[in-house]
Structure 1
Amino acid sequence: MLMKNTDLSGRIVRYGELQPCRTAFIDAHTPGSDQKENFTIIGGGVSESPDQHVHIDIPHGFNIGAAGQPPKCRNSLHSHRTAEVFFVLSGRWRFFWGLHGTAGEVVLEEGDIFNIPTGIFRGFENVGTDYGMIMAILGGDDAGGGVIWAPQVIQEADAHGLVLSEEGKLYDTKKGESLPEGVGKMPLLTEEELKAFPEPSAAEVIPDFVARYWDIAAMAHEAPVKVIGETGLLRDRPGFEVDLVTRDSATETPEQFDRPTVLMPFRGHWRVTWDGGSTVLAPGDTMSVPEELDHAVVPAMSGESALYRVIGTQDPAGPTRAD
């Protein structure tokens, strides 16, 4: 149990203080993807660049990150070995999947959440009219050991001066960098290996892996809604659970969890209080609450209020396990 006057300032990341990395991944020079900004908020994430700033390095059993992109900017096709969950903080986003991004797609609005099935290639682009931001939750402390890129992404990046080593590190030939002696390029997946990546249709993915904000909010009158979890709307056990808390389902009664908890507001301002301290969170802020700390989370102002709460579980990070 944490003592009174616990200082949590080091566990709060303000939206306005986020430090972007514009060279986080192999497609940082590829036209159409060269304006994106990546943020690693909690945990080491999956960045391939030493320039990526980590805001909170305390292990949680999952990672929190974000991607900010101007209109028409896209994130290239890739896959993960553990969960990758996105919710839209701002803007309008198209997610697409399959080796060539043609197997299926869905467009998400603010507050919508997508638990992307593991083992498929996926990408996304900002299809709104302004700079947009999506927040990401990645399973595991090491986020599955990195990113698996579609072969054409590696080839195109190489043509624009970025080379990925077999160790998963980026080298920029435009800056005079080259692979160290004895270190080879990241090998391309073979035709046989690519057969292991499924190509599900939108009809197969959307019902079980996408939840719309207004549908969830309509259910959050008396208690938070479990969006992702063994008994969630999107049934899965990826090493964490995700709840939606709204004004109607918030409570002033302090509660605690035996695992690390992360609060991520996207509508309204929220007051978090604990014994000896308090703070107000705004949309885009991220707060890590230590395990076994009594705390209350309530709206700080009138108007629509909603936040996603991520809680670590005992389930090991791994492939999607919906059933």
Structure 2
Amino acid sequence: MTPRDMASRIVRYGELRPCRTAFIDAHTPGSDQKENFTIIGGGVSESPDQHVHIQIPHGFNIGAAGQPPNCRNSLHSHRTAEVFFVLKGRWRFFWGRRGDAGGVVLEEGDIFNIPTGIFRGFENIGTDYGMVMAILGGDDAGGGVIWAPQVIEDAREHGLVLGENGRLYDTKLGQDLPDGVAPMPVLSEAELAAFPEPEADEVVPVCVARYWDLTALADKAPAKVIGEHGRLRDRPGFEVDFITRASAGATMHSHDRPSVLMPVRGHWRVTWEGGSVTLAPGDTMSVPENLDHAAVPAMTGEASLYHVVGTDDPAGKTWTR
């Protein structure tokens, strides 16, 4: 594969194309400065304006959220796995019907495997623009987002209506629901009762891995982060490894399905028969299936990256006590 062929499978951080109207809370004060990025796969955006950088199916989606300080992503749930790692800034994640069941603060490089079936949200509590990278299970990411009722109600007050077809309509722009399309129904109290409310001390120990702990674990070999034998024991339809300078190897290898490289710190040189490229933090590279390749740090200093590859496992575990 030539470098030109591979260029279409590399998304540079500086070339990410944001969507500022991706979700139902795009006009809601406190959430109206979000930027959503869909890097690999269709994602779960509710807006036709969302740009998809790489549409090749991987068995999972890669996206990102960029937010200024004090900007919040509203409470929602997914039917498949949702995994975040912090690329830039400090973030607070919270969960529960009202967002008060539990919470955790993540620093750069930390990773959070949020169980399916619970409402979750997050906000930038740092002092500068921040970015979190997201991995969503499945090629269709479970068919969209399930919003907490108050999010739908608040959005309507600010002009945005979500149709049952999963599309947004902006009444401030004169848009109405098309004929035959009803508003997305609000969950009933009986339906809401099925969403668990785990406390922080139940979730954090089994769902959060800290960057510096993973760095220590990856001193001789890549650290298994998410997977059957991972630090976070789950099988959500993909596996995540963490690689550092100490555990990187120059031996060529391949996978039987596409894999993704996502640098966290440092510059990484990826080589394959036919070319090479250097990746920086925030870049995303899709490596084709059955392509021999290797990734090693390109410069001195700290270097780390997350590696993602799909599996045949289902969407991931729903939270159970």
Structure-2-length-normalised TM-score: 0.98
Given that residues 236 and 320 in structure 1 are in contact (C-alpha distance below 8 angstroms), is that contact kept between their aligned partners in structure 2? no
Letter of the structure 2 residue corresponding to residue 76 of structure 1: S
Given that residues 237 and 311 in structure 2 are in contact (C-alpha distance below 8 angstroms), is that contact kept between their aligned partners in structure 1? yes
Shift of residue 259, structure 1, vs aligned partner: 1.7
Q: Deviations over 1:42-93 (max 9, x none)?
A: 0000000000000000000000000000000000000000000000000000
Q: Secondary structure at the match of 1:180?
A: coil
Determine the C-alpha separation between the residues in 2 that align with 1:297 and 1:238.
25
Q: After superposition, where does 1:11-50 map in structure 2 within 5 Å?
A: 11-50=9-48
Determine the C-alpha separation between the residues in 2 that align with 1:45 and 1:252.
33
Task: Provide the residue aligned with 2:182 in structure 1.
Answer: 184
2:216 is the alignment partner of 1:218: yes
Letter of the structure 2 residue corresponding to residue 41 of structure 1: I
Determine the C-alpha separation between the residues in 1 that align with 2:3 and 2:126.
43
Residues 322 and 85 (structure 1), Cα distance of their counterparts in 2 relative to 1, 3 Å cut: farther
% identical aligned pairs: 78
Task: Provide the residue aligned with 1:89 in structure 2.
Answer: 87
2:309 is the alignment partner of 1:292: no
Q: Secondary structure at the match of 2:37?
A: strand
Given that residues 170 and 176 in structure 2 are in contact (C-alpha distance below 8 angstroms), is that contact kept between their aligned partners in structure 1? yes
Residues 5 and 230 (structure 1), Cα distance of their counterparts in 2 relative to 1, 3 Å cut: same
Task: Provide the residue aligned with 1:77 in structure 2.
Answer: 75
Task: Provide the residue aligned with 2:300 in structure 1.
Answer: 302
Shift of residue 316, structure 1, vs aligned partner: 2.6
Which runs of 5 or more structure 2 residues have no equivalent in the other structure? none
Residues 163 and 266 (structure 1), Cα distance of their counterparts in 2 relative to 1, 3 Å cut: same
Q: Secondary structure at the match of 1:251?
A: coil
Given that residues 234 and 317 in structure 2 are in contact (C-alpha distance below 8 angstroms), is that contact kept between their aligned partners in structure 1? no
Determine the C-alpha separation between the residues in 2 that align with 1:4 and 1:79.
40
2:133 is the alignment partner of 1:153: no
Residues 81 and 177 (structure 1), Cα distance of their counterparts in 2 relative to 1, 3 Å cut: same
Greater mean alpha carbon deviation, residues 5-14 or residues 194-203: 5-14
Given that residues 6 and 277 in structure 1 are in contact (C-alpha distance below 8 angstroms), is that contact kept between their aligned partners in structure 2? no
Q: Deviations over 1:137-158 (max 9, x none)?
A: 0000000000000000000000
Determine the C-alpha separation between the residues in 2 that align with 1:322 and 1:304.
38
Letter of the structure 1 residue corresponding to residue 159 of structure 2: G
Determine the C-alpha separation between the residues in 2 that align with 1:54 and 1:116.
24
Task: Provide the residue aligned with 1:124 in structure 2.
Answer: 122
Task: Provide the residue aligned with 2:160 in structure 1.
Answer: 162
2:50 is the alignment partner of 1:56: no
Task: Provide the residue aligned with 1:258 in structure 2.
Answer: 256
Given that residues 238 and 320 in structure 1 are in contact (C-alpha distance below 8 angstroms), is that contact kept between their aligned partners in structure 2? no
Determine the C-alpha separation between the residues in 2 that align with 1:313 and 1:320.
18
Given that residues 235 and 322 in structure 1 are in contact (C-alpha distance below 8 angstroms), is that contact kept between their aligned partners in structure 2? no
Determine the C-alpha separation between the residues in 2 that align with 1:185 and 1:296.
49
* Counterpart selection for 2:226 from 225, 228, 239: 228
Q: Secondary structure at the match of 2:128?
A: coil
Q: Secondary structure at the match of 2:252?
A: strand
Query: 4+ residue stretches of structure 1 with deviation over 2 A?
Result: 3-7, 316-323
Determine the C-alpha separation between the residues in 2 that align with 1:226 and 1:243.
5
Given that residues 210 and 234 in structure 1 are in contact (C-alpha distance below 8 angstroms), is that contact kept between their aligned partners in structure 2? yes
Task: Provide the residue aligned with 2:235 in structure 1.
Answer: 237
Computed over aligned residues only, the root mean square deviation of the Cα atoms, in angstroms, reads 1.4
Given that residues 116 and 319 in structure 2 are in contact (C-alpha distance below 8 angstroms), is that contact kept between their aligned partners in structure 1? no
2:315 is the alignment partner of 1:313: no
Task: Provide the residue aligned with 1:204 in structure 2.
Answer: 202
Shift of residue 319, structure 1, vs aligned partner: 3.7
Task: Provide the residue aligned with 1:137 in structure 2.
Answer: 135
Determine the C-alpha separation between the residues in 2 that align with 1:322 and 1:262.
30
Structure-1-length-normalised TM-score: 0.97
Q: Deviations over 1:99-124 (max 9, x none)?
A: 00000000000000000011000000
Given that residues 118 and 319 in structure 2 are in contact (C-alpha distance below 8 angstroms), is that contact kept between their aligned partners in structure 1? no
Determine the C-alpha separation between the residues in 2 that align with 1:5 and 1:175.
44
Shift of residue 314, structure 1, vs aligned partner: 1.5
Q: Secondary structure at the match of 1:227?
A: strand
Shift of residue 318, structure 1, vs aligned partner: 4.3
Determine the C-alpha separation between the residues in 2 that align with 1:300 and 1:109.
25
Q: Secondary structure at the match of 1:8?
A: helix
